Amino acid sequence: MDCIFCKIVNGDIPAYKIYEDDDVLAFLDITQATKGHTLIIPKKHVENIYALDDKTSQAVFSKIPTVANAIKESLNPIGLNLLQNNDQPLQSVFHFHVHLIPRYQEDETTIGWVNHQDSYQDADYKHVQTEIKKCIK
């Protein structure tokens, strides 16, 4: 399989590793959107959030606070965003990963959304709530 993150896990290509255990690896994102921008991944190849089993999910998500606290303590950001992309065109590497993006006063990163609250009535929220709830398995 031609997966760049599997190659990092297997040691076939280098990475700036931050944390590693039997199931999980965290390493610096090559783009460094901000100083300390880190990715945390399962060592097992899982394509995206939809394919993530409970055990792998638990392994990855349980280590996010460890890595986040290390970033906070070492680099002293004003805050930190978690970001996780699924499917094209959002996702560019198809091995599940969570971005940890420390934030600084003068950084050029923007992560935002538009507030559509004004165009949502109670019935609209209830419709969306019902649609999603009926697909919970």
Q: Which residues are catalytic?
A: 97
Decide: is 6 part of the binding site for Zn ion (CB under 5 A): yes
Which of residues 13 and 78 has its CB atom nearest to ligand AMP in the complex?
13
Decide: is 4 part of the binding site for Zn ion (CB under 5 A): no
Q: Which does 3 bind (CB under 5 to 8 A by kind): Zn ion, ligand AMP, none?
A: Zn ion
Interacting residues of 6 by C-beta distance below 8 A, sequence separation 6+: 45, 95
- Binding residues for ligand AMP (CB under 6 A): 4, 15, 29-31, 85, 91-93
Q: Which does 6 bind (CB under 5 to 8 A by kind): ligand AMP, Zn ion, none?
A: Zn ion
**Number of Cβ atoms within 10 Å of the Cβ of 48:** 16
Residue 90 beta carbon to ligand AMP: minimum distance, rounded to whole angstroms: 6
**CB-based contact 71:9 (threshold 8 Å):** no
Tokens coding 69: 């606290």
> According to CB under 5 A, which one of 44, 45, 72, 99 is a site residue for Zn ion?
45
Tokens coding 50: 């939809």
Convert 74-100 to b/e letters by CB count within 10 Å (16 or more is b): eeebeebeeeebeeeeebeebbbbbbb
Interacting residue ranges for Zn ion, rule: CB under 5 A: 3, 5-6, 45, 95
